[in-house]
Structure 1
Amino acid sequence: MYENTVPFKIHSDYTPTGDQPQAIEGLIEGLNAGMRGQTLLGVTGSGKTFTMANIIEKTQRPTLVIAPNKTLAAQLAAEFKAFFPENAVEFFVSYYDYYQPEAYIASTDTYIEKDCDINDEIDRMRHSATSALLERRDVIVVASVSCIYGLGDPSDYKDLMINLRQGMICSRDAVIRKLIDLQYVRNDFEITRGAFRVKGDTLDIFPPSSEELLTRVTFFGDEIEKITEVHYISGKVMWNRNYAVIFPASHYATTKEKLDRALVTIEEELEERLAELREQGKLIEAYRLEQKTRYDLEMLSETGFVKGIENYSRHLTRRKPGEPPYTLMDFMPDDYLLMIDESHVTVPQIGAMYN
């Protein structure tokens, strides 16, 4: 793990001036003393981002930067990428372009299914952020307040990943079965992110975090002969690799053991809720709930995935009622730095969304 890590190093023609050296020294002293919170004050244009970049360079710790909205998050990400071109600067914001929650109107017996439009590029960047956090330490994640929203269990995300190395004894079919467990979809005609295709002894995988490169694994019998990264359109070989790490196609991927247990606990909760509704005389609501949930259970049992799987995340991650969900923060290492931009706006937002 952490084979791709390189030290944080600022690339800039500027050096700290004015009050910046004093601020950097004071903040680092506070970190070393174990202070949980510190505030950096400065007017617009005073170089606060550059000051924080220097703290990251001096501490060499993975960092989560939270901004109050997508626009400021994108601006900060661009600035940090300019300061740290050799390191992983990732972007993690809500991937919904449109979202309509599910609803039921009992008076007209109308069920409105949840509908949403997911931005594919932002989804790619979210996967890039979580996979980078498990592959290297030189990571800066710039996020909006949506980073406190639920994700899957990071331990499952890590345990399910596939490590492939040149010369490894592993059959093509075994890798395919693992990819299906990771919720990849086979498509031998038009490959997209989160899919794979098979042509003879060649297996092409399009990771959800990749922008335009496929991971091509070539087998000779039951041995991995070669691993390359190729352009998904032209097929041109861009890189030769000694190894590849394949992460799940969904943040909600889980082990078969946990999935089987989740099916049982979902069924148990369904029966409890149906009994409550029937006791209250809400027979139509009970019928609709049973119809929807049993369909979801069947889909989970057959495919391991269902639209709206986040509704069952508590069962999939074995959490008790009322327990907080796993979030991006659970993917961060224990010693990470948390920086909150425009904290007078962001902190109240976090509090409001948390509650």
Structure 2
Amino acid sequence: MFAGVKTVVRFDLWSDPAMEERFGREPDIALTTCRLAGPEGDAWAALGDAHVYQISAARNELPRQWHAGADLLEHCPRLLCVSSSGAGYDTVDVAACTKAGVLVVNQAGGNAQSVAEHTIGLMLDLSRRISESDRRLRRERGFKREDVMGREISGKTIGLVGIGHVGRRVAGLAHAFGMTVLAHDPHLTGEEIASRGAIPVAMNDLLERSDVVSLHCPRDEGTLGMMDAAAFARMKTGAVFISTARGGIHDEAALADALRRGHVGGAGLDVWDEEPPPLDHPLLAQDNVVATYHTAGVTPEARRNMWALAAEQIVGVLKGERPPRLINPEAWPAYADRFEAVMGFRPETSTVGY
């Protein structure tokens, strides 16, 4: 049995005190916070002793050298687990971690309510032209109310691409507005999609039938560039596109073109290829685009929940439990051998829920 201190390392990006509070109840867990602006040698030394690396999920706020890839893993002989601060894990090379016998975990579901509410907010804003009216009212006079007349969402159809933690909450909120909910999710059966509050459909059917298309799928090899020019062309004329998923799933140039031509009626975008997008980005120049800065899941409630979930999961991992939000289960055999070599006992094989 490992009798020393179990070390968790993170960088000094924004965090909620929930993690320190939870670790404070574990006398054998130490949390080390490295300064991004500090000497690199200090960070490498801390990571070299780390058992868990608590990593930011935001690829644009963490310098590339601190992403959890093969180069970093070579410097971390005792590292057992990389824990993403969010549902996404763009800063983690999952294949490299798996090859090294390092578990990757995320906090899927921790900010689902906040992201779902933001999605509905974007949809309402676009449908009722709230931001567009606000901008015009601040800069001009002489336009008529009918010039910024919106539409009700009641009775309309929303198509969810992905119906996981966030998507199922969006479905529930959309039903409350009297909407019909369609969903496409290749990872779920039709019966499971129906149990989550949506009518299962093929992707092309969703695009062709929906008044609102909203993305709630992960960013991976199967979804990168999924919403391309052909996909936007399949959408109903005047339909609205929303993404609170990840940048890169939709083609920004193709979307800008579809909006300019009037085929897509509006877009609500919380995620971008580059975050934040440049000020001269073509999408930011269009009045029928509502833009936010990857803030859908950034609320005090969601942040505290995410850090509490991360801390609880890390405590479990260091006690030898199998984590409930494991991204790379195929790493388990090699991980279990490494865990036993480092900790002196074999980890459990059953998942513990929190």
TM-score by length of 1: 0.27
Greater fraction strand: 1
Q: Which has the larger radius of gyration?
A: 1
TM-score by length of 2: 0.27
